[in-house]
């Protein structure tokens, strides 16, 4: 079977990773520092299971609260924590609670099942569907690419749009550009042509530009990039604990 070979020099997704000499030196100094810490943790770091559980819960709660508040959600971290501890009830009175519940559940999925996640369009759509599973308002389009145009807008404290940040990929081009992004990411990881964190950062930028889903709320995109699309090839970017599956905490900006 013939396999297409990626043209790394001219591919539009690769050109973003072409830096000046000074910028390249700066980036690789930072990446070397991150690699050194990561290696030290993997070789010597052993945390007690109860500490891992507390850290994991803290990450889920604070990330869920902060990401949703950016979009105008009014729940505090204390309210998010109370909701998270009672997800099994599955009765959510408000839109804010519906959004937080879906986000927290998907966070938990990523923490527990990161090794089973692959960078595929089907997985991305599935995670989007799960993210909005409790939102009746989003039932029509969850798990499906957008069919009409959307924009990334600035929202004030009252939840009102105060301007457009940028236009996104047109709906008719979204399937094509998502296919290209997924293929580029998988090829880049497999070939090890770039440092994994550069690949993830590039994925995030392109994914946000495409904005492939109709819910124009960018928390969905943050979720499916930094968290949901970290593949098994990046298994080193996690906190290994003896006797347990690794727990990932990598949500820091590049």
Domains in the chain: ranges and CATH: 47-234 (1.10.3290.10)
Predicted local distance difference test score (pLDDT) of residue 127? 87
Predicted local distance difference test score (pLDDT) of residue 4? 57
Q: Is the pTM of this model over 0.85?
A: no
pLDDT at residue 230 is higher than 80: no
Q: Where does the pLDDT of residue 183 fall: very low under 50, low under 70, confident under 90, or very high at 90 and above?
A: very high
213: left (phi over 0), alpha (psi -120 to 50) or beta: beta
Predicted local distance difference test score (pLDDT) of residue 252? 34
Predicted local distance difference test score (pLDDT) of residue 207? 92
Q: How far is CA 142 from CA 37, 52, 119, 136, 200, in A?
A: 39, 32, 18, 10, 24
Render 183-252 in DSSP notation, one character per residue.
HHHHHHHHHT-S-HHHHHHHHHHHHHHH--BSS--THHHHIIIIITT--GGGTTSSB--TTS--B-----
What's the mean per-residue pLDDT of the chain? 77
Kindly report, residue by residue over 190-218, the tens digit of the pLDDT: 998 899 899 989 998 999 899 999 864 45
- Rounded distance between C-alpha atoms, residue 142 and residue 126, angstroms: 9
- Rounded distance between C-alpha atoms, residue 102 and residue 91, angstroms: 12
pLDDT at residue 49 is higher than 90: no
Q: Which residue has the tokens 């499906």?
A: 144
Q: Is 77 helix (H, G, I), strand (E, B) or coil?
A: helix
**What does residue 177 show for φ and ψ, rounded to 5 degrees?**
-70, -30
Predicted local distance difference test score (pLDDT) of residue 45? 64
Predicted local distance difference test score (pLDDT) of residue 216? 41
Q: What is the DSSP letter of 1?
A: -
Query: Which carries the bigger pLDDT value, residue 100 or residue 42?
Result: 100
82: left (phi over 0), alpha (psi -120 to 50) or beta: alpha
Predicted local distance difference test score (pLDDT) of residue 164? 84
Q: Which of 59-68, 138-147, 150-159 has the lowest mean pLDDT?
A: 150-159
pLDDT at residue 57 is higher than 90: no
Q: Which of 34-43, 63-72, 226-235 has the lowest mean pLDDT?
A: 226-235
How many of the other CB atoms lie within 10 Å of CB of 178? 19
Kindly report, residue by residue over 135-151, the tens digit of the pLDDT: 878 888 888 999 988 88
- Rounded distance between C-alpha atoms, residue 213 and residue 43, angstroms: 40
β-sheet bridge partners, residue 167: 151
Q: Where does the pLDDT of residue 31 fall: very low under 50, low under 70, confident under 90, or very high at 90 and above?
A: very high
- Rounded distance between C-alpha atoms, residue 54 and residue 169, angstroms: 40
């Amino acid at each position: 079977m013939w396999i297409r070979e990626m043209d790394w020099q001219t591919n539009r997704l690769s050109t973003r990773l072409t830096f000046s000499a000074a910028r390249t030196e700066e980036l690789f100094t930072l990446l070397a520092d991150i690699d050194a810490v990561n290696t030290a943790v993997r070789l010597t770091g052993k945390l007690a299971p109860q500490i891992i559980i507390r850290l994991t819960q803290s990450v889920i709660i604070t990330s869920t609260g902060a990401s949703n508040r950016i979009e105008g959600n009014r729940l505090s971290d204390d309210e998010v924590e109370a909701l998270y501890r009672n997800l099994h009830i599955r009765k959510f009175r408000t839109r804010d609670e519906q959004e937080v519940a879906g986000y927290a559940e998907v966070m938990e999925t990523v923490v527990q099942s990161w090794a089973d996640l692959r960078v595929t369009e089907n997985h991305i759509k599935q995670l989007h569907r799960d993210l909005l599973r409790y939102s009746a308002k989003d039932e029509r389009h969850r798990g499906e690419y957008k069919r009409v145009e959307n924009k990334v807008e600035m929202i004030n404290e009252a939840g009102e749009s105060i301007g457009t940040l940028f236009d996104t990929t047109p709906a008719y081009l979204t399937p094509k550009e998502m296919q290209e992004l997924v293929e580029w990411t998988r090829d880049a990881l497999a070939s090890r042509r770039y440092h994994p964190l550069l690949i993830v950062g590039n994925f995030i930028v392109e994914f946000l530009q495409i904005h492939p889903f109709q819910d124009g709320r960018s928390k969905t995109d943050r979720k499916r990039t930094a968290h949901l699309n970290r593949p098994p090839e990046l298994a080193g970017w996690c906190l290994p604990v003896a006797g347990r599956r690794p727990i990932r905490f990598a949500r820091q900006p590049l």
